[in-house]
Structure 1
Amino acid sequence: MKKGISLVLVGMLAAGSLVGCGSKPAEQSNSGGSSQPAPSNSSSGGEKSGGAGNIEETTIAVGHATSDSETSHYQAYAAKFKELVEKNTDGKVKVEIHPNGELGGEREMIEAVQLGTLDATITSSGPVGNFAPLSNAFDFPFLFRDKPHAYKVLDGELGDEVNKQLESVGIKNLAWAENGFRNMTNSKHPIIKPEDLKGIKIRTMENKIHLDSFKEYGAAPTPMAFTELFTSMQQGVVDGQENPLSVIVPNKFYEVQKYMTLSGHFYSPAPFLFSKSKFDGFSPELQKIVEDAAKAARDYEREFIANLEEKYIQTAKDNGMEVLTASEYDQEAFRKASEPVYKKYEAEYGEFVKKILDTK
């Protein structure tokens, strides 16, 4: 496997500055417009796939941990899914959305989906490794070159490999939606190089790759449910956290965090997980409507985030955050500090990581 790890590290270095904070595609230029963008592909995959005359009446409960504000990406996903399912079933299927972690933290909701006590959840990838270990491979630092690279991996055969693991434990992943590239915030001082994280208590997801990465950077990582995070930062239980802009700003972390570095250190997908027992109980017609709606909502949500990226940054600045751009921090030093994490997990994930890096 020595050859494998060398290829991994070469791939990391080759990615260079392409990661940035998400490599926003050129067409996503209306960042200063409405806070509720209407992407041109909002109905993609969501057209009616046949009459709804034979569709059974049912209710689908969808939970998520983020806010229900108009700039919340999870809420945008759930709302689009609801719109398409209800439209394409002529209202026979109702979708109930439960935001703000009212049904529990992300791991609790995934467990509920697995047990069949919750129908669906859109979640970060952090806790997913507890149910499908291969999904941890998506969480290595500086792994994805840009968003199109991530989409090619997640929407293709490699994403399907993780989906099969999930299905084997009673969970059906209908789509890989998005959180985006993750960025560091804290209440102490600007983070420019790994040494700046020394002694910083930083909340991470319940993910072993993330924990080990921040240990290598010199921080004191603390896994914690998202629902506990704001209060923990407010009370000084942790000094900082790392999340995409789509989480940091809609959840008003600027109220308890002073400094943000647009580090783009991890790319974070957001799987839409469905109870397999619930899905298998649907008629084939309803299964197709639900699957099509999940994929259309994925495309809508990805563009929703991209359209708001610059607005998120400006909102953070307007609310007193000091923001370091991707060009102002030492990305190369963080890449170097990440190498031991790749080496530690080479036997477990090396081949799969190589496939990700080789994806064009």
Structure 2
Amino acid sequence: MKKFVSMLSVAVLSASLLCACGGGTESTTTAAPPAGDTTGAAVSQEETGTPATTSAPTDGDVIVMKLANANPAGDIRDQVCRRFADLAAEKTGGKVKIEVYSGGSLGDWRDAVEGLSMGINEIVIEGIATLSAYTDLAYLDGLPYVFRDADHFQKVMLGEMGQEICDQVGEQGGFKLLGPQYRGTKVTTSQKPFSNLEELKGLKIRVPNNQVNIDTWTYLGASPTPLALTETFTALQQHTVEAQENSIIESYGHGFYDVCDYLIYTDHQHSADVFIFDRNYFNDLDPEIQQALTEAANEAAQWRTETVLKEEKEYLTKWEEAGVEIIYPELDGLREAVANLAADKYPMLKDMVDQIQAVQ
């Protein structure tokens, strides 16, 4: 671990000298009011009054934080946000009230991340790879086939090594990352079936505007198209694209079973969502509040990880019940096609990828 931490620090320092491409995960822009709290923790804007600013409040003040979530209200991301809000209120004795804004009502993920430093919102839930615009280290979260399976992901990203990665990404990018949580394995939903590398050649697939996703599908021989998630359903309807990538549960939540006949279990990425704060804002909070938020985030994250692990298989059944054929492709060819991606495009991360893959 000491060796990993040392190499991690060197890589982060090197990455800071490079010009990183814009990162991102999924986003929606559907306008919606702040989500009400089913448990009493996340409350409406009328109830909470003026939102918190980037300066730390004085003792006795109620701290109102806006949490931006790009995914639709009611899906698992929204649920973990509400749980975080509930736990934060409980652990701070009501000193912190978190408003959950789902459905991209505070803008897409880029707007929300940029809004942290301006006090527009205080928290964002997003994938670590979203922060690749601020540090190349965040690309680790988006590289394909770095993790063998969910167990391997948990050993790394939900353990000491993962905490070190989160700390370094935060320090490099000016953020505080709390509560790393498992999003689930990424699959491909498609209008065109494929069961091996050769058959997916030329596939017109929608990807988030994130260079590592674009590179991944280019190496696989597909034709990646960066597109906002809000435009993806229509793009599939109009056959502008033929496929999209996302987790099993989140893909179902977006209704892609209505426009895709196949779910191909490509299992190509295991990634983490985190609760992201502006670093200066978080550090200005009272230490007791910081600790309470950290505990609340970790508990909410554990709930989501356990829920995803339990429900992924159940959601595969839901896909079949919706009339979608599930295909388990030959994965060795896919892995081989992207085997040199880290060394070719992200050489500053190659040693860390090797260390992660060595974890048993």
Bucket of the pairwise TM-score, normalised by the shorter protein: 0.7 to 0.9
TM-score by length of structure 2 reads 0.78
- Aligned partner of residue 314 in structure 1, secondary structure: helix
Given the alignment, which residue of 206, 218, 223 partners 2:221?
A: 218
Which residue of the partner structure matches residue 347 of structure 2? 347
* Alpha-carbon displacement from aligned partner over 1:232-252 (angstroms, at most 9, x marks no partner): 223322211111112111121
Given the alignment, which residue of 168, 171, 189 partners 1:167?
A: 171
Given the alignment, which residue of 43, 64, 68 partners 2:69?
A: 64
Overall identity of the aligned pairs, in %: 27
Q: Mean Cα displacement is larger for which, 338-347 or 275-284? A: 338-347
| Aligned equivalents of 2:72, 2:330: Cα separation in 1 | 32
| Aligned equivalents of 1:185, 1:206: Cα separation in 2 | 18
Amino acid at match of 2:352: F
Amino acid at match of 2:248: L
- Aligned partner of residue 118 in structure 1, secondary structure: coil
TM-score by length of structure 1 reads 0.78
In the alignment, is the contact (CA less than 8 A) between 2:129 and 2:140 conserved in 1?
no
1:228 paired to 2:231: yes
| Aligned equivalents of 1:125, 1:201: Cα separation in 2 | 25
* Alpha-carbon displacement from aligned partner over 1:45-99 (angstroms, at most 9, x marks no partner): xxxxxxxxx6541111111111122xx2211210110110112223232110011
| Aligned equivalents of 2:231, 2:167: Cα separation in 1 | 28
Which aligned pairs between 1:91-170 and structure 2 lie closer than 5 A? 91-155=94-158, 156-170=160-174
Given the alignment, which residue of 209, 212, 215 partners 2:212?
A: 209
Deviation at residue 103 of structure 1 after TM alignment: 1.4
Deviation at residue 138 of structure 1 after TM alignment: 2.9
In the alignment, is the contact (CA less than 8 A) between 1:106 and 1:225 conserved in 2?
no
Which aligned pairs between 1:291-330 and structure 2 lie closer than 5 A? 291-324=294-327, 328-330=328-330
In the alignment, is the contact (CA less than 8 A) between 2:182 and 2:305 conserved in 1?
yes
Deviation at residue 162 of structure 1 after TM alignment: 4.2
| Aligned equivalents of 2:61, 2:286: Cα separation in 1 | 8
- Aligned partner of residue 339 in structure 1, secondary structure: coil
Cα–Cα, structure 1 residues 176 and 158, in superposed 2: closer, same or farther, change >3 Å? closer
* Alpha-carbon displacement from aligned partner over 1:217-264 (angstroms, at most 9, x marks no partner): 211011223333223223322211111112111121111211111111
Which residue of the partner structure matches residue 251 of structure 1? 254
Amino acid at match of 2:226: P
| Aligned equivalents of 2:173, 2:268: Cα separation in 1 | 30
- Aligned partner of residue 178 in structure 2, secondary structure: strand
| Aligned equivalents of 2:340, 2:161: Cα separation in 1 | 28
Cα–Cα, structure 1 residues 357 and 278, in superposed 2: closer, same or farther, change >3 Å? same
In the alignment, is the contact (CA less than 8 A) between 1:184 and 1:243 conserved in 2?
yes
In the alignment, is the contact (CA less than 8 A) between 1:55 and 1:285 conserved in 2?
no
List runs of 5+ in structure 2 lacking aligned partners. Answer: 1-58
- Aligned partner of residue 340 in structure 2, secondary structure: helix
Q: Mean Cα displacement is larger for which, 89-98 or 256-265? A: 89-98
* Alpha-carbon displacement from aligned partner over 1:310-332 (angstroms, at most 9, x marks no partner): 221111111121111xxx31111
| Aligned equivalents of 2:60, 2:260: Cα separation in 1 | 49
- Aligned partner of residue 127 in structure 2, secondary structure: coil
* Alpha-carbon displacement from aligned partner over 1:170-207 (angstroms, at most 9, x marks no partner): 211012112111001111x2121122222221111233
In the alignment, is the contact (CA less than 8 A) between 2:131 and 2:173 conserved in 1?
no
Which residue of the partner structure matches residue 338 of structure 2? 338
Runs of 4+ in 1 over 4 A off after TM superposition: none
Amino acid at match of 1:184: T
Deviation at residue 346 of structure 1 after TM alignment: 5.9
In the alignment, is the contact (CA less than 8 A) between 2:134 and 2:172 conserved in 1?
no
In the alignment, is the contact (CA less than 8 A) between 2:112 and 2:124 conserved in 1?
yes
Cα–Cα, structure 1 residues 55 and 236, in superposed 2: closer, same or farther, change >3 Å? farther
* Alpha-carbon displacement from aligned partner over 1:19-57 (angstroms, at most 9, x marks no partner): xxxxxxxxxxxxxxxxxxxxxxxxxxxxxxxxxxx6541
Amino acid at match of 1:348: M
Amino acid at match of 2:71: T
* Alpha-carbon displacement from aligned partner over 1:141-161 (angstroms, at most 9, x marks no partner): 211122232122223235423
| Aligned equivalents of 1:153, 1:55: Cα separation in 2 | 39
| Aligned equivalents of 2:162, 2:298: Cα separation in 1 | 17
